[in-house]
Every structure is written in C-alpha cells, then in structure tokens.
Structure 1
Amino acid sequence: MKLEKSTKILLTALLAFNVLLTSCSKNDDSVGPSPIPEPGNEVVYLPVVVHVIHNGETLGEGPNLSNERIERQIEILNEDYRRKLGTKGFNDHPDGGDAQIEFVLAKKTPGGEQTNGINRIDASQINVPDLGYNQNHYAQYAYWDTSAYINIWTTPLPESAVCLSLGSATGPETDLPGTEFLTIPGPNDADGIMVNWIHFGESDIDCHARFGRTLTHEMGHFLGLLHTWGSGECDTNDFCDDTPAVDEHVFGSVPYLGCAGEEIMIGNYMNYSHDAVMNIFTKDQIHRMHYVLKNHPGRNALLTSPAL
C-alpha cells in the first residue's frame, strides 16, 4: 500500500529469496492449472476492470474519470512492468528487468457482453452499508469474478485526501513463507485494488504521487511483492537479494545509505518514493510475481480469462 506516514499501512509479507528458489524448484515439475513461462521468454496478459465509483459528476469531471485518463493509466502500468524504452518506466540498472507482464482492459463483461473494461457506478444512486474505506465497501457497488478479472476501484474521496490516501491492495495466499503478513481476503472479503481517483493516472496535482505509480505499486502487492523494507529488519526486509537491504520505510526522491552502508534503491516501485523517480522492478521481484502467477489458482486463472 502506497500511503503517507499518517495513514495506516497494510501488513506486508516477508519472503526469503533463497526459500523462494527452493520452492520454485520443488514445484517446477508439478502440474498446475496453467503453466507460466520463465520471465524473458513470453509475455503474459492479465485482464483488469476499472470500477469508477463517482457521485453523479459529469463524465471527465472529478471522480468520474475520463476514458482517456483511465486508458493512459493502464498504458503507464504496462510501461512500468515492461520497462519500456523512452518512458518513465525504463531503467538500465543491471538488476532491473522486464517483468513480461501486461495488463489489458477487459473486453467482455461477466455476462459476455462487449465492454471497454471501464465500469461506471453513480454511488449517489445506490445505498450500501458504510463499511469504511476498504475493498469490501466498494465491492458492494461492483465486484466481478476474481478468476476472470483484476478488480480495480477508483474511490471518490474528497480532494482534501490528496497525498494522504493513495491506495491499497489485497495479496495472494500461496505456500511461500510470509503469506501470513499479506492482506489475504477471507471468505467474505473482496479481492482487488483500490486507488484514490485523484492519484489514478497522470495529473498536475500538488503531490509527489501524480504520474500513475500508485497503481504500479499496488499491483505489485496484488501479485505478491513486498515493500523493500519488509519487516523493518536488516537481515530480513523483503528477502530479495537484489534489492539493497533497508530497515525503514523509504520516502522521497534522494537515495541514502541503508543497511551495511549500502545505498538504497530509491527508484524501486515497492517503496513510497516519489513517482518521478520510480522506474525499477528487480529480477528477484519479477521471479516472485511469476511464481505467484504459476502457483496461486486465482491469479493463474486470469491468464485464460474470457475477458481477454
């Protein structure tokens, strides 16, 4: 979850990379629902639906985001995950990589009708119980089959929430160590991603989070990634060997020395860094996402979704 210091932070999972390699080796020969190619060999595609929750505003005004802004956000997401040359998502760091994951706005609704992947809901016309700012509350307005769609809700928070509340995401339950620290949805909980409409896509707001990286960060959690600082311990943190160890939350845009005097990776998408400097997923982080896509039944099912 990419939030400011005063906002509560979702519990993050801890994962030892050496255990991850062992787990991957252990499962390589197993028959899963849909095999995932190794990163770098083939691109995988994941369908998303953007539920635009608004309060009756005209299309393109306030929380009722324009199609163009939503489409541009998905474009940014793909620039970041594909490390595309000529975009803010490119880096030439030796530990960086192309995640070989692309996101596609759904082409069919659960009922089989054609869609542009944007589902607009006027919340002023619907009465639902007040469950607070969480996925369960917004899922009452719209919630599509999680085996076929990644549900994303843009939430109609007031403009006073700019730079205060950015987004949150649920995580996948797998056999990997640290799963207990993820926000795993229970039997009656919604699974998906929330993003404050103000931080969805590009804008000229007076905030460091204005280039669409909130969704990049939250999608990382949805696919099983941790914050770089993990539990806040130098010898554990996120257990990715190629993310320099850090034992505290990372904010800002200027790198500094973390554990053992090593410079932190300020540009990593799994920090709370400024959008302007974010530009890297490491190879270990990429392998973790592909492990989740291979071994989590719900995430794996997305690969063959009829919504594609």
Structure 2
Amino acid sequence: MKKTLLGMAALALLFASCNDDQNSISTNDDQSKIDMSDFYVYTDADIDEAARIAEGKSKSCYSMVNLNRLLNENPDLEQTMFDIEYQTRKSIAAKKPDGAGNGNGNGGGNDGGGDPDPGFTDPVTIPVVVNIIEQFSGQVSTQQINSQIAILNEDYNDNNPNTNGVPAEFAGDVANCGISFTLAQVNRVVNTRSSWGTNDAMKDSGQGGIDVTDPSTYLNIWVCEIGGGILGYAQFPGGPSATDGVVIGTDYFGNNAAGGVYGDGRTGTHEVGHWLNLRHIWGDGNCRRDDFVADTPTSDGPNYGCPSYPTVNCRSNDMTMNYMDYVYDDCMYMFTNGQNARMRALFEAGGARASLAGN
C-alpha cells in the first residue's frame, strides 16, 4: 500500500512539473502573441509565372516556382520555414511598443512590459562568392561583377539616387537596411550549354556547374544562361545548403547593356531580397494574400514597366517602386522598414542566417 501511495505521489509531482512547463511555454507565447494563422509556403507560382511569360508580360522571377519544387522534394522544408517565420515574427513583435499589434507580420507587441527589444541593429557585411558559368572565357566581365556588388551596396544602404522620387505617401517607409556586400571570390567555368533552367544544375560540378562555397559564411551567386525569359531565382532561408544562394541570368547581372531595361543590376537586388526572406510585394496571391510586411500595401499581382503613381489595386496605392515588384530596373528603388525588420531578424542569434553576422 505504501509503495502504491509513493507511486501516486511521484506521478502527481511529475504531472505538476509538466503542467508548470506547459504554463511557462504558454505564458511566453502569450507575451509575444505570435499569430501564425496566415502563414503559407505553397503558391500558384508555377501556373502564374508560366502564364505571364506565355502572355509576353515582361521577364520573370522564378523564386516562388523554385520554392514549390523544393517543398515537394524536401518533406521537412515546410516545417523549417514555419520555424524561421515564427522566429522572424517573434523578433518583430519584440521591437514594438506594448500592445502595438498582434505579431502576425502586420504588427506586434511585447505585453510583458518594459522597453521593446531593439533587435539586431549592427551593420552587416556579407561576403559574396560569384560563380560564373560562361559560354566562352570572359563572357562575364570584371566590370559586370564589380558593378553588381556596387549596386547591392547602393540599394541595401538607401543610396539609390532614384529614391528621391518616392511619393510622399511612402517617404516615411524607406529603409536604410545597413547591409553591405564584399566580393570574396570569383569562380569561373566554361560550358557551352545554352540554357540551365531552374532545377539547380548550375550549382553542381557533376553537371558542369560550380559547387556551392560554404553558405553559412558566404552568399553564393551563380551567373549563367537560365533561359525561358527568366531573370533569376533565389533560395529562401531554410532550403538545402548545397543549393543555397541566388541565380542571375548573364544579361541581367550587374550593369550590362545586353539586359536592356533589366540591365542595371536590380535583378540581383530583388533575388537577394528573397534570399533574405522577402516575398514578392503582392504576396503571390489575391488581395487577401500578404507578403507578411505591415508597411507594404496589399496588391493582387505584379506591376510591369514604369507605372505611374498612383497605381491602385485592392483599394490602395501599389508600392510599385519596391525592389520586390516586377517593374523595370530604373523604376524600383526602395525597401521598407518592415522589409528591413524581416531581413535583420535572420541575423539575430537563432536566426536562419545568424552565422553571416557572427552570431
């Protein structure tokens, strides 16, 4: 009988301990108010992008198509991306004053009291490895390479001269991201293949491409002939390390007259934005599908060319000049403070790209 009573007492203590743990976790979550109900990964990008190209609607980014493929190939990726998004929203929520939002990517609060956490505010310098798969030696010039690094530095530090033209409505949203890029290494291989597609063959030396250089330490950019009217594509944080980085079509890499209206290096800015966890400005869906950023207006599709202001969709003015839209290179010239908060969350301790900032 005594043994039975002792056993029951032990179970009661164990139950109480578990209850305390659960309450502790619940309390932490309640304080952060992290609402993940609107989170999504899969989109209709495969259909949408193919239709846009078929209709002759400008060039295209295939980052979301690439994401769909990786999700299908890697069953654990969806959960990994959920965890990254949770950390991102928790970081953003901690920066807000008490009660200022609900932490769902459109605001946040730290109802536990006290001053909000300023988050990771240090400057970030990212070393870049450029992997060039060219059809003949010297196809991609040193000038192109240097200009792309310069353009990334310009855009991520709010030095694009066109930003002077931002409409008053969005002037207070323009962000200086404080992210800089340095050229660490250039790798070249000659391969006469005319089109590499979007299945990451260019990232595999066994298929005639170039293997990744330590993605925990470097941003890898592959430059090659992608084909199919595709400007470039990127891999979001959380994907396979062997393919982590950005791919840019040869004509659209850096300053290059062959790229025409897409020859001023902004494909690089756009794709690195995806690599740093930014979605397209319209959320790759209809008016109810968001890009998880509070200060970017809702829209239902990309803009092309150089749209006039205002361009209205979903009952609000589109931020057509955002780097994550599809407009001509000269007509995109801003990130927002909300987008900057998403990117910088990656560099905090526990963030998906923390190793690049020394965390």
How does the TM-score come out when normalised to structure 2?
0.63
1:43 to 123, 127, 133: 123
Does residue 121 in structure 1 map to residue 186 in structure 2?
no
Seen in structure 2, the aligned counterparts of structure 1 residues 80 and 303 have a Cα distance that, compared at 3 Å, is same
- Give the CA deviation at 1:238: 1.0
What do the CA deviations read for 1:134-167 (whole angstroms, capped 9, x no partner)?
A: 3244332322111121111000357xx6xx2210
Please state whether the residue corresponding to 1:11 is helix, strand or coil.
helix
Partners of 2:266 and 2:233 in 1: how far apart?
13
- Give the CA deviation at 1:231: 3.7
Partners of 1:122 and 1:96 in 2: how far apart?
41
Seen in structure 2, the aligned counterparts of structure 1 residues 10 and 267 have a Cα distance that, compared at 3 Å, is same
Does residue 56 in structure 1 map to residue 56 in structure 2?
no
- Give the CA deviation at 1:21: 4.5
What do the CA deviations read for 1:74-119 (whole angstroms, capped 9, x no partner)?
A: 001110000116x34666621011001011111xxxxxxxxxx211
Does residue 299 in structure 1 map to residue 353 in structure 2?
yes
Does residue 257 in structure 1 map to residue 312 in structure 2?
yes
- Give the CA deviation at 1:208: 2.2
Equivalent residue letter for 2:235 = T
Partners of 1:21 and 1:264 in 2: how far apart?
24
Does residue 73 in structure 1 map to residue 148 in structure 2?
yes
Please state whether the residue corresponding to 1:208 is helix, strand or coil.
helix
Contact persistence 1:90–1:280 (CA under 8 A):
no
Structure 2 runs not aligned, ≥5 long: 1-44, 54-59, 68-80, 97-116
- Give the CA deviation at 1:27: 10
Does residue 283 in structure 1 map to residue 351 in structure 2?
no
Match for residue 195 of structure 1? 248
- Give the CA deviation at 1:37: 7.5
Contact persistence 2:220–2:244 (CA under 8 A):
yes
Q: Describe how 1:1-308 pairs up with structure 2 within 5 A.
A: 5-6=52-53, 9-11=62-64, 21-25=89-93, 38=119, 41-57=121-137, 59=138, 64-84=139-159, 87-88=161-162, 93-106=171-184, 117-123=185-191, 132-140=197-205, 141-142=209-210, 143-157=212-226, 164-173=229-238, 184-185=239-240, 189-205=242-258, 207-255=260-308, 256-260=311-315, 262-294=316-348, 299-304=353-358
Partners of 1:67 and 1:206 in 2: how far apart?
16
Indicate the structure (1 or 2) with the bigger Cα radius of gyration: 2
Equivalent residue letter for 2:329 = D
- Give the CA deviation at 1:23: 4.7
Instruction: Select between 4-13 and 89-98 the one with higher mean Cα deviation.
Output: 4-13
Seen in structure 2, the aligned counterparts of structure 1 residues 302 and 202 have a Cα distance that, compared at 3 Å, is same
Partners of 1:121 and 1:96 in 2: how far apart?
39
Seen in structure 2, the aligned counterparts of structure 1 residues 275 and 27 have a Cα distance that, compared at 3 Å, is closer
Equivalent residue letter for 1:70 = I
- Give the CA deviation at 1:46: 0.7
- Give the CA deviation at 1:19: 9.4
- Give the CA deviation at 1:251: 1.9
Contact persistence 2:88–2:346 (CA under 8 A):
no
Seen in structure 2, the aligned counterparts of structure 1 residues 172 and 19 have a Cα distance that, compared at 3 Å, is closer
Contact persistence 1:79–1:88 (CA under 8 A):
no
What do the CA deviations read for 1:183-229 (whole angstroms, capped 9, x no partner)?
A: x33x7x51111000100011223632111000000000000000011
- Give the CA deviation at 1:56: 2.9
Contact persistence 1:146–1:298 (CA under 8 A):
no
Partners of 2:352 and 2:87 in 1: how far apart?
22
Contact persistence 1:170–1:221 (CA under 8 A):
yes
Instruction: Select between 90-99 and 280-289 the one with higher mean Cα deviation.
Output: 90-99
How does the TM-score come out when normalised to structure 1?
0.72
Give the share of equivalent positions with the same residue, in percent.
31
- Give the CA deviation at 1:65: 1.2
Structure number with the higher helix fraction is 2
- Give the CA deviation at 1:132: 4.4
Equivalent residue letter for 2:141 = S
- Give the CA deviation at 1:131: 7.6
Please state whether the residue corresponding to 2:126 is helix, strand or coil.
strand
Seen in structure 2, the aligned counterparts of structure 1 residues 190 and 206 have a Cα distance that, compared at 3 Å, is closer
Structure number with greater CO (CA < 8 Å, separation at least 6) is 1
Structure 1 runs not aligned, ≥5 long: 29-35, 107-116, 174-183
- Give the CA deviation at 1:294: 2.0
Contact persistence 1:136–1:190 (CA under 8 A):
no
